Chains A and B, each alone.
Chain A
């Protein structure tokens, strides 16, 4: 009954649930934020009690009344305990590791309780995706919940609204509460599978393999790129040829690669080009090459290693085409 207006109107929902997302820091579920209704089993239980009551009245069974009322009392106590299972629970969002689009983002939530009793069977459900996780919070302790939420688009993906629900101890009532912690996960572009090898320094010299390149052992010559170190220019050979040539080495130190958005045809669309770039970044890192990334307005100098790879992927994830830049169909938010 309330669901529809609440769902369509986030402001109303915020008012109804009494908090303004996203919430910073530790969220303590005050008992005003914990809602409770009978579950389907609880409704059945109510029906059973009604039948027992009618039978007791009809046959004037004093012990029938006693049984009915004892069960009703247990139901009431269960209702209070179900609320208690959530009330004053502290929810804290942890760091979510970046994920590639199409993978699941793993959000970590820590549920902590300073109560002298344990809180079993707390179900967390991410509202948008329905990702679920059940945890038992020990007495005066904490438990970590992992929510694996599917991702579709690159960029920051906030965790959004998470429902905490419990039916413990009798399953007759369902208590729930919503939290929307300030927690987001960076989603990299989906690395295009079977990505092309990184482009050669220039179009004319296509065919040179990047992953075998280094600077220790001389392995051959290739066309000069503007960024090539003068020390690597094969001056003698260049003198004999029309073009400048650069010496190629196999081994640890590699020639520098530039991964550029502008190298990819605009007909692919922005998102597809970013995906391909992401695939190249991964391939380049695997090959051990020094690679740089150049997007309109963003330039990361060639380097290698996890930090650099992360920086490149982050740049790809967060790239916002500026004014005048090519707009792909799947432009990020």
Chain B
């Protein structure tokens, strides 16, 4: 450290002992930063919170901002306690619960407002920063989209800026801002390492509140008139599919889901199928694909008919469903192989046929009469009972001929829903079609069941992936035919053929469709395709990073089946290396060795090795002269090196370019110095 390089010491403005740092009162800047962080994390909650809570929280924060520099305006403790009590009562009245996900989050919102109001010193400010982070993470319970992530980043930046401002209150804001940028810049690589290497375990660690997954939408385990048509109004994504090779034609994309057996006159419900061996499909076009399933809090997975591969940790049920062991509560990725073909028919188990014929008594007399008419007349002989295939033919012909209307907004149906649909309203959605068809088949003595799932999907031209939305939800029928097994019949497609080829949007003529589903919004669609391609990558790489993906990731580095100990040690090694490197870099920045001095010292060492060590009193000129005399073989280079050193050290200040040139020559000459 050269003394002459430093400016005169600044007198210290405050020699007196300071108050303890966490007792220091907060200023306007502190509140601005704390408030910004809180506002960012509170904004999404404001859409979910009851209006009175939003107003109350805003009022509390506004009150605190008003009282900056006017401590007389701050409320007494008793009032704060009263507000807490009133707020908690309000939340209880709103949700009839204090624990549970949403009421819990709302309590946190209330506490954030109260803490803001009662904040006086740095310790309170730290508590507010921590609350900001808790509120940020509660947002992820509802959505983990890219905008949410960006919001979180902004909130973290604001809260870190608040911490920096608290730690150095007298520092100019610009300098503190730079510190925040540096901190976050250095935090990102460390966070990445932690994200990738921190040993992930499959949650949950403890029981979750009842309402934890209420926000997830999807097919239900039952079907009543209206349930599917409500679902199809949602634009939400059910799952995404990535086909290896060519995708099958859209009309063949039947994503099979829950199978419904039991009818009570109004609602179809799942049976209680048992686990079975998966039959090997006989024929069809082989199609390999992977599915990224959005969490729906149910057990079933979706696959094209007929599946030929069972993903790990799943079971095959006798009615052809594929189910997981635990409800799908996080985005799940699985690979599938299906043999897609017109004949694909899962299973031919006769044990279930009795259940597939059961109907409640006393419902839909007109439909029963119709079906019985089909089954009575044999092919040629009126006395012979018609075969199942003949009945099916008649039913198909009926649906083709009747021109039933397809709508997402059907009229409400009464007790005999099938009768009213077939003969009175004559309009309905796929649940009406499939329900009526299966009812008719059972009434005619042909085993049949309702299958729900999704039909079709949208190919994203940007990344060539299929997106299947809730609006693609569909219900169809399966009929058991002797010799063929369970055969898929889509009664909706029989009446409204364009539903299969062009999707819901073309098949329906009402304005009830969501804006983006409308065909004329082409430019909006392309924008959406790009956004969804990005979102898909986000879901796959960021949100879908789970214990399995972590194992996959580690196997790229040759760690097969890394257990948590291996992961933890790798993490510690990498993270430790990162911190040490950061530290070394910082220290290096502080004391960058002077290249001129380095070269000169090397020169002195070289001469010293030849027996001409520099005496402490010798300046460069004298030393070089003596060395040149003693080592005549290298006299000229020695003098030149000394001259360069003196020019750089003591000469008139050269321009940056010149200095660089001189330094380069000095270094070169010292390196090349030989004493031939």
B168 touches A52 (CB 8 A): no
A144→B12 contact, CB < 8 A: yes
Cross-interface CB contact of A67 among B5, B136, B546, cutoff 8 Å: B136
Q: Are B542 and A72 in contact (CB under 8 A)?
A: no
Q: Is the CB of B18 within 8 A of A132?
A: yes
A63 & B168 in contact (Cβ 8 Å cutoff) = no
Give the Cβ gap from B194 to chain A, nearest Cβ, in Å: 4
A92 CB to closest chain B CB (Å) equals 9
Within the complex, the shortest CB–CB distance from A274 to chain B, in Å, comes to 29
Asked whether A118 is an interface residue with its Cβ less than 8 Å from the other chain, the reply is: yes
| B516 in the interface (beta carbon within 8 A) | no
Given A61-B144, A140-B5, A169-B179, A52–B134 Cβ distance below 8 Å?
A: yes
Do residues A59 and B10 form an inter-chain contact, with CB atoms below 8 A? Answer: no
Name B126's contact: one of A41, A90, A146, A148 (CB within 8 Å).
A41
State in angstroms the CA–CA spacing of A28 and B3 once bound together.
13
Let me know if B198 and A69 touch, CB within 8 A: yes
Asked if A142 contacts B149 (CB within 8 A), the reply is: no
In the complex, A33 has a CB within 8 A of chain B? no
B1-22 with Cβ < 8 A to chain A: 1, 5-12, 14-18, 21-22
Q: Are A121 and B12 in contact (CB under 8 A)?
A: no
Give chain A interface residues in 22-53, CB to chain B under 8 Å: 26, 28, 31, 41, 44-45, 48, 51-52
The digit string for A50-76, where 1 denotes a CB below 8 A from any CB of B, is: 011011111111111111111111101
| SS class, residues of chain A in contact with chain B | mixed
B6:A142 contact, CB within 8 angstroms: yes
B78 at the A interface (CB under 8 A)? no
A269 on the interface (CB 8 Å rule)? no
Q: Is B70 an interface residue (CB 8 A)?
A: no
Main secondary structure of the interface of B (DSSP, over half): helix
**Any chain A CB within 8 A of the CB of B166?**
yes
- A136 to B167, Cβ gap below 8 A? no
Report the bound CA distance from A111 to B186 in whole Å: 27
Give how many A residues have a beta carbon under 8 Å from the other chain's beta carbons: 74
Report yes or no: A146 in contact with B133, Cβ–Cβ below 8 A: no
A138 touching B164 in the complex, CB below 8 Å, given contacts A132-B18, A133-B15: no
Contact yes or no, B590 A87, CB < 8 A:
yes
CB of B187 within 8 Å of the partner chain: yes
In the complex where A136-B170, A140-B5 touch, is A83 in contact with B160 (Cβ < 8 A)? Answer: no
- Complex interface bits, B184-223 against A, C-beta within 8 A gives 1, otherwise 0: 1011111110110010111111101000100000000000
- Residues of A close to B160: CB separation below 8 A: 74, 170
Residue of B nearest to A121 (CB): B168
Residues of chain A within 8 A of B1, CB atoms compared: 26, 28, 90, 112, 114
Task: Tell me whether B615 is interfacial, beta carbon within 8 Å.
Answer: no
CB-CB < 8 A to B163: which residues of A?
169-172
Contacts of B126 in A (CB 8 A): 41, 44, 171
User: Are A65 and B195 in contact, with the CB atoms below 8 A?
Assistant: yes
Contact B194 A144 (CB under 8 A): no
| B79 contacts partner chain A, Cβ-Cβ < 8 Å | no
Chain B nearest Cβ from A249, distance in angstroms = 46
Q: Please name all residues of chain A whose beta carbon is closer than 8 Å to the beta carbon of B656 when the two chains form the complex.
A: none
Of B182, B202, B586, chain A has the most CB atoms within 10 Å of the CB of B586
Assuming the contacts A142-B6, A169-B179, asked whether A69 and B167 have C-beta atoms less than 8 A apart, the reply is: no
List the B side residues contacting A169 at CB < 8 Å: 163-164, 167-168, 179, 183
Q: Which listed residue (B11, B17, B149, B546) contacts A60, Cβ 8 A?
A: B546
Contact between chains at A69 and B195 (CB < 8 Å): yes
Are B141 and A110 touching (Cβ within 8 A)?
no
Interchain CB contact (< 8 A) of B583 among A71, A80, A115: A80
Q: Taking the nearest CB of chain A, how far is it from the CB of B631, in angstroms?
A: 36
A41, A48, A57, A131 — most chain B CB neighbours (10 Å): A41
A73 near B9 (CB under 8 angstroms)? no
Contact: B171 with A120, CB < 8 Å?
yes
**B residues within 8 A CB of A83?**
583
B22 to chain A, nearest CB (A): 8
| 13 A–B contacts from the bound complex (CB under 8 Å) | A60-B546, A66-B191, A69-B195, A70-B187, A73-B188, A74-B183, A77-B187, A80-B586, A81-B586, A135-B12, A140-B6, A148-B15, A170-B160
Please give 20 more A-B residue pairs, beta carbons under 8 A apart, in addition to A31-B587, A41-B22, A69-B194.
A44-B126, A45-B130, A60-B546, A61-B140, A66-B152, A67-B152, A74-B184, A74-B186, A76-B578, A80-B186, A80-B579, A88-B590, A121-B171, A140-B6, A141-B7, A142-B7, A143-B10, A168-B167, A171-B21, A171-B167
- For the complex of A and B, the 8 pairs showing the least CB-CB separation, nearest first, are A73-B190, A73-B187, A77-B186, A69-B194, A60-B330, A146-B15, A74-B187, A144-B9
Binding site for A on B (CB under 8 A): 1, 5-12, 14-18, 21-22, 122, 126, 130, 133-134, 136-137, 140-141, 144, 148-149, 152-153, 156, 160, 163-164, 166-168, 170-171, 175, 179, 182-184, 186-192, 194-195, 198, 200-206, 208, 212, 329-330, 542-546, 575, 578-579, 582-583, 586-587, 589-591
